[in-house]
């Protein structure tokens, strides 16, 4: 520990702490902008400057280490004036259309003005050039970028994708893909981690609300909505509730109040995914152990950001991906087939909305593979943040809502489905079913949990041995299945490099595209600096949901068993494959922009945007 003085207070802090971290221990918040805990720290904005006795210059508190005996002042007149000047310069070329901005009242730049006591501005520069890039998942507005580079760090250092970076110099600096090309023409995974860390409206999810509002007011459409498991562990944060406070019942009530005809739970389709994916894993293991052809390890396919990244970065390994669609597209396919038939409605008149913690799912639903009989499985995706905006628009008092429930027959789920939202959850849910199907006994572990794959470690490993198996699975007797779990695309690259090199020791790998899994998806409530353990709290909430349910194994879901009995037949059936399975597109690294025809097309689009 080291000892220093901050604003007259004696402070003890661990050696290696920054001044900002030491101040926080003393209950002193230092204003900042580019700093993003756990993601990005480079002191570029200079908002967090402080005065240190014995030093001539003001120092950036987010990067300067606290020293023994140091005397720091965080709010002298000199410091306050410097911050106001820096802020004035930051917004001198920034759009002043706050009222029409998607980040209005949730913008860190806007909030910082209030913190600094900015009542008027004195510096007025030339407005930044307008360049709006709208991809299926992410919308970029370069006018609103303050060059904090948080997004660059998230894309390069956290995810390891490198789709965007700073280009040019000085006033001409811009954060963009290579050659300023659109996101949709480069290797962007559409994961949306850049939108989570962006402090302004420069990077946001592409709007999905207008299509949903239009469908809700269209008398010719029956509008069904489904909600992913991670949403219930984070939605409350948008209304001032504690991170990790589950709002499942309130959320169901709010969706009914918004006017949706059917309110279903993607958790039902998570259980469905386990039966299909578990069956596929057993088929691959059977083939591998009986002399047939099988591609192992099998890799989960629930994360569309991960799928797109794999198609780009590891195009030769796509056969390792499970052929199962993600749960919400499975649900869309079931709604537009089984449910539409059940209630006597033409599937073309069904409009399916997914509420997701993910921006990549906005991209996923427009993939040509995600349709059956000419109907896309899902018609619109809105994020957790967008659902909160819709609830506020309708004037719904969310925190005081009574608990409601999801609708039958696609609203019941087991505890295994809830943990799909956490890293390791899909693997654990799958093994609960696979182990019991093979042995007739519950999976060994602590309260049905496979402890080694729980938590936020980058790469987690475990083994599970099949002993005393059923006669039909005699070939698995004594086999030890080796599994690995990871989240975040940079970590996934480590495992996929092993697969590509033929050195992977695993049979089954789970990959979630966002660090921590869906609880930290690109469409979730943005990072809360005052609650550093928000990921752990959201994870705990979903494990509590799991443990609080009477049925915790997907293959015991009675409504799911009825779906197979009355419609699908059995897991892996011909109809199940038609509706619930898909194929992938090896893309490799994009180089379309080298093609003259593509360049002309992009030039035309840029002209239209400019007009």
Contact 224, 353 (CB under 8 A): yes
Task: Look over the chain and give the mean of its residue pLDDT values, rounded to a whole number.
Answer: 94
Of 51, 108, 205, 277, the catalytic one is 277
550 pLDDT exceeds 90? yes
291-308 in b/e form (b: 16+ CB < 10 A) is: eeeeebbbbbbbbbbbbb
Of 191, 302, 310, 358, the catalytic one is 302
- 34 & 111 share domain: no
- 285 & 386 share domain: yes
Task: With 0.85 as the threshold, say if the pTM is over it.
Answer: yes
pLDDT digits (tens, 9 = 90+) for 318-345: 999 999 999 999 999 999 999 999 999 9
Is the Cα dihedral 112, 117, 120, 126 positive or negative? negative
In a domain, 508, yes or no: no
Distance from C-alpha of 13 to C-alpha of 4, rounded to nearest angstrom? 8
Residue 40 banded pLDDT, cuts 50, 70, 90: confident
- 333 & 243 share domain: yes
- 76 & 142 share domain: no
Is 68 a known active-site residue?
no
593 pLDDT exceeds 50? no
What pLDDT was estimated at residue 594? Answer: 47
CATH code, domain with 548:
3.40.50.1780
In a domain, 610, yes or no: no
Distance from C-alpha of 463 to C-alpha of 482, rounded to nearest angstrom? 5
Of 108, 238, 364, 545, the catalytic one is 364
What DSSP string runs through 189-200?
A: ----HHHHH-SS
590 pLDDT exceeds 70? no
Per-residue DSSP letter, 242: P
Angle, helices 384-393/209-216, rounded to nearest 10 degrees: 50
In a domain, 347, yes or no: yes
Total domains, the chain:
3
What DSSP string runs through 163-229?
A: --EEES-GGG-EEESGGG--GGGTT-----HHHHH-SSSSEEEPP-HHHHHHHHT-TT-EEEEEE-G
Distance from C-alpha of 351 to C-alpha of 367, rounded to nearest angstrom? 17
Is 148 a known active-site residue?
no
In a domain, 448, yes or no: no
In a domain, 549, yes or no: yes
Of 108, 280, 386, 428, the catalytic one is 280
Of 157, 369, 463, 570, the catalytic one is 369
Distance from C-alpha of 503 to C-alpha of 501, rounded to nearest angstrom? 6
- 222 & 251 share domain: yes
530 pLDDT exceeds 80? no
- 65 & 111 share domain: no
Of 518, 535, 553, 554, the catalytic one is 518
Per-residue DSSP letter, 279: H
Distance from C-alpha of 359 to C-alpha of 195, rounded to nearest angstrom? 9
**Short-list 286, 360, 372, 375, CA closest to 326:** 360
606 pLDDT exceeds 70? no
In a domain, 298, yes or no: yes
475 pLDDT exceeds 50? yes
> To which H or E segment does residue 561 belong?
helix 558-563
Is 364 a known active-site residue?
yes
Contact 115, 31 (CB under 8 A): yes
Of 322, 337, 354, 504, the catalytic one is 322
- 49 & 64 share domain: yes
Determine the structural domain holding residue 381 and report its residue range: 210-442+517-580
In a domain, 133, yes or no: yes
Is 280 a known active-site residue?
yes
Of 84, 325, 336, 361, the catalytic one is 361
CATH code, domain with 108:
3.30.70.20
Window from 173-182, 387-396, 460-469 with minimum mean pLDDT: 173-182
Window from 116-125, 223-232, 479-488 with minimum mean pLDDT: 116-125
Distance from C-alpha of 451 to C-alpha of 25, rounded to nearest angstrom? 33
Is 518 a known active-site residue?
yes
CATH code, domain with 73:
3.10.20.740
- 78 & 114 share domain: no
- 277 & 409 share domain: yes
C-alpha to C-alpha distances, 104 to 96, 132, 193, 199, 293, nearest whole angstrom: 11, 18, 20, 11, 56
Q: Which of 172, 187, 206 is the last residue of a domain?
A: 206
Is 540 a known active-site residue?
no
Distance from C-alpha of 49 to C-alpha of 30, rounded to nearest angstrom? 8
Distance from C-alpha of 293 to C-alpha of 143, rounded to nearest angstrom? 54
């Amino acid at each position: 520990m080291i000892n220093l003085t901050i604003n007259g207070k004696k402070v003890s802090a661990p050696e290696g702490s920054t001044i900002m971290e030491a101040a926080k221990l003393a209950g002193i918040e230092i204003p900042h902008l580019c700093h993003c805990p756990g993601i990005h720290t480079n002191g570029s904005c200079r908002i967090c400057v402080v005065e240190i006795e014995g030093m001539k210059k003001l120092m950036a508190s987010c990067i300067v280490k606290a020293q023994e005996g140091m005397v720091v002042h965080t709010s002298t007149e000199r410091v306050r004036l410097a911050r106001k000047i820096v802020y004035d310069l930051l917004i001198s070329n920034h759009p002043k259309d706050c009222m029409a901005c998607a980040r209005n009242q949730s913008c860190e730049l806007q909030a910082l003005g209030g913190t600094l006591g900015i009542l008027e501005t004195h510096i007025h520069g030339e407005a930044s050039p307008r360049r709006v890039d709208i991809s299926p998942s992410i919308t970029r507005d370069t006018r609103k970028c303050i060059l904090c580079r948080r997004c660059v760090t998230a894309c390069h250092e956290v995810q390891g994708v490198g789709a965007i970076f700073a280009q040019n110099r000085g006033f001409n600096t811009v954060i963009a893909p290579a050659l300023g090309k659109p996101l949709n023409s480069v290797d962007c995974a559409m994961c949306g981690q850049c939108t989570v860390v962006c402090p302004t409206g420069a990077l946001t999810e592409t709007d999905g609300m207008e299509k949903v509002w239009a469908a809700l007011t269209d008398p010719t459409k029956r509008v069904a909505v489904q909600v992913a498991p991670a949403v219930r562990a984070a939605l409350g944060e948008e209304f001032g509730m504690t991170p990790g406070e589950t709002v499942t019942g309130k959320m169901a009530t709010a969706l009914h109040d918004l006017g949706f005809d059917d309110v279903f739970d993607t958790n039902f389709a998570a259980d469905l995914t386990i039966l299909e994916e578990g069956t596929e894993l057993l088929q691959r293991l059977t083939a591998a152990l009986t002399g047939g052809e099988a591609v192992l390890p099998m890799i989960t396919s629930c994360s569309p950001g991960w799928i797109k990244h794999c198609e780009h970065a590891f195009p030769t390994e796509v056969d390792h991906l499970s052929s199962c669609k993600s749960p919400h597209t499975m649900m869309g396919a079931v709604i537009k087939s089984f449910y539409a038939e059940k209630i006597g409605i033409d599937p073309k008149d069904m409009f399916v909305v997914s509420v997701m913690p993910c921006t990549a799912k906005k991209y996923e639903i427009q993939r040509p593979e995600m349709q059956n009989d000419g109907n896309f499985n899902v018609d619109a995706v809105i994020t957790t943040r967008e659902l909160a905006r819709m609830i506020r628009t309708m004037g719904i008092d969310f925190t005081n809502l009574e608990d409601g429930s999801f609708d039958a027959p696609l609203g019941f789920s087991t505890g295994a489905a809830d943990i799909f939202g956490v890293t390791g959850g899909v693997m654990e849910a799958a093994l609960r079913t696979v182990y019991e199907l093979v042995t007739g006994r519950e999976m060994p572990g602590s309260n049905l949990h496979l402890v080694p794959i729980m938590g936020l470690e980058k790469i987690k490993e475990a083994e599970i041995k099949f002993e005393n198996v059923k006669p039909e699975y005699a070939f698995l007797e004594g086999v030890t299945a080796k599994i690995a779990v990871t989240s975040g695309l940079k970590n996934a690259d480590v495992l996929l490099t092993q697969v590509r090199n033929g050195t992977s020791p695993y049979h089954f790998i789970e990959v979630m595209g966002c660090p921590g899994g869906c609880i930290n998806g690109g469409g979730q409530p943005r990072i809360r600096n005052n609650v550093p353990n928000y990921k752990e709290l959201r994870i705990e909430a979903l494990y509590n949901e799991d443990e609080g349910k009477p049925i915790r194994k997907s293959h015991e879901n009675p409504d799911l068993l009825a779906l197979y009995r009355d419609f699908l037949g059995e897991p892996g059936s011909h109809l199940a494959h038609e509706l619930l399975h898909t194929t992938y597109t090896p893309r490799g690294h994009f180089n379309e922009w080298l093609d003259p025809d593509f360049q002309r097309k992009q030039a035309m689009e840029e002209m239209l945007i400019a007009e």
